[in-house]
Homo-oligomer: A and B are copies of this chain.
């Protein structure tokens, strides 16, 4: 379980204080905190509680959503990303995952331009706060309103176009990229550029009945998670494997039972051979 991290959204019916008890009690050492889980909390208090619980904060989810129809909308996004950087710093998260955004009907090339511009604008603040930014390419079924960045190649292109700055990288989520014919080579490329900053796992169910909230637990679907994990590890990545599951089905299950299932499926997936200490 040494590389297992769970996203608070995965167990969203548990308030973060209970995640901070429940995860370490079971030997889960990594936590990725969604901003919703911090609402009404003091980030410094959560940071202290997390440390005291022996948990590593892997990342903060999420920043991004840079495109907008007007300059005012885009500025609001920038402001919100600056707040996310402050929160990440305060809560002890070394990384923010960026869901880059898209505006339905706005040309994708324009949204992509606005995304690169937005990242460039917040990057200095992130660098100063010691917080890395990870572009997460999203599945093409989210190209309408969630992200105009839908492949690893595009994410790499954005990093290149910004001059491969320190503190900017990529989050690989198997759900979003598993179908990509270039997946193996693009993972290698991402690793070679020292940009592979995070790795998210879950599964793709057949049939998928909801575009947003019908992700599967690892093993419930068709994604070759083990194969993709090997490609990721082959780049030298030793960080956490983060379980990020949006699922109306699983959210209706008692969260402690769900965590049992997650740990069991994680163990089945990686056995003892692939689980060494997370090196993040």
Interface residues of A (CB under 8 A from B): 104-105, 107-108, 112, 139-141, 143-145, 150-151, 153-154, 178-181, 204, 206-209, 211, 221-222, 224, 227
| Inter-chain contact B141/A222, CB cutoff 8 Å | no
| Inter-chain contact B181/A108, CB cutoff 8 Å | yes
A151 nearest CB neighbor, chain B only: B181
What is the minimal beta-carbon distance from A144 to any residue of chain B, in angstroms?
Answer: 5
What is the minimal beta-carbon distance from A230 to any residue of chain B, in angstroms?
Answer: 13
**Which chain B positions have C-beta within 8 A of A207?**
145, 211
**Which chain B positions have C-beta within 8 A of A178?**
143
Supposing A105-B222, A211-B211, A222-B105 touch, asked if A145 and B181 sit within 8 A by C-beta, the answer is: no
| Inter-chain contact B221/A179, CB cutoff 8 Å | no
Given A139-B141, A141-B208, output 4 extra A-B contacts at Cβ < 8 Å.
Answer: A107-B224, A140-B180, A145-B207, A150-B179
Interface of A is mostly: loop
State which of B145, B154, B180, B224 has its C-beta within 8 Å of the C-beta of A206: B145
| Inter-chain contact B206/A181, CB cutoff 8 Å | no
| Inter-chain contact A222/B179, CB cutoff 8 Å | no
CA A247 to CA B115, docked complex, whole Å: 32
| Inter-chain contact A179/B211, CB cutoff 8 Å | no
**Which chain B positions have C-beta within 8 A of A204?**
144
A106 nearest CB neighbor, chain B only: B222
What is the minimal beta-carbon distance from A135 to any residue of chain B, in angstroms?
Answer: 14
| Inter-chain contact A104/B140, CB cutoff 8 Å | no
| Inter-chain contact A179/B104, CB cutoff 8 Å | no
**Which chain B positions have C-beta within 8 A of A140?**
139-141, 179-180
| A-B contacts, 23 listed (Cβ < 8 Å) | A104-B206, A104-B221, A104-B222, A105-B222, A107-B224, A107-B227, A112-B181, A139-B140, A140-B141, A140-B179, A140-B180, A141-B141, A141-B208, A141-B211, A143-B178, A144-B206, A144-B208, A150-B179, A150-B181, A151-B181, A153-B181, A154-B181, A209-B211
A222 nearest CB neighbor, chain B only: B104
| Inter-chain contact B179/A143, CB cutoff 8 Å | yes
**Which chain B positions have C-beta within 8 A of A144?**
204, 206, 208, 221-222
**Which chain B positions have C-beta within 8 A of A181?**
108, 112, 150-151, 153-154
A150 nearest CB neighbor, chain B only: B179
What is the minimal beta-carbon distance from A210 to any residue of chain B, in angstroms?
Answer: 8
